[in-house]
Structure 1
């Protein structure tokens, strides 16, 4: 049986840049195929993160999709026209802290 998504190309907007993906791919798979290995940094150490577990258990692949924060890129199927933004935030400063 032929894969119904095999020939379907969709377009995503990732950090303001358009990328092509195959219908049925997850957001993470689309970004990896486009050459992006990381799309988030840790709040404390500013270390790059992308796909770690790939099954939705960890939180390393979080992105904002169409304005909705904290979406696991490894679990969300990409849809034509999706706008993907990276979540790159520092921890809030604590008054009197370092």
Structure 2
């Protein structure tokens, strides 16, 4: 996992670990971080595929304005991954064509 665990100013950044599932694979996340941050820390860059051209989409603005990071969470479509906090045992799926990991 790619994370800063000891910040030079903030000190140790220890948080409770949670597990989410993305496209059928389990990944470790940290309590209260966004879905996008958890996936990014685990090397996941593509969150969905565009409707027309099926092009990969991921994190663009990171603040909820562009909607490029839409995913399905626990069956609810078009949830913005960049502003939605992870929860333990959350089921996240990409939208558009699914590519197996």
Range of TM-score over shorter length: 0.7 to 0.9
For residue 87 of structure 1, what is the aligned residue in structure 2?
A: 95
The two structures have a TM-score, normalised by structure 2, of 0.80
For residue 39 of structure 1, what is the aligned residue in structure 2?
A: 47
Q: How many pairs were matched up?
A: 87
Verify: 1:14 aligned to 2:41, yes or no. no
User: Secondary structure at 1:59's aligned position in 2?
Assistant: coil
> Structure 2: how far apart are the matches of 1:70 and 1:7?
27
Question: Where does structure 2 lack aligned partners over 5 or more consecutive residues?
Answer: 1-9
Could you tell me which of 66, 72, 75 is aligned with 2:83? Answer: 75
Q: Which contiguous aligned blocks of 4+ residues in structure 1 show a shift greater than 6 angstroms?
A: none
Question: Where does structure 1 lack aligned partners over 5 or more consecutive residues?
Answer: 90-98
> Structure 2: how far apart are the matches of 1:27 and 1:85?
11
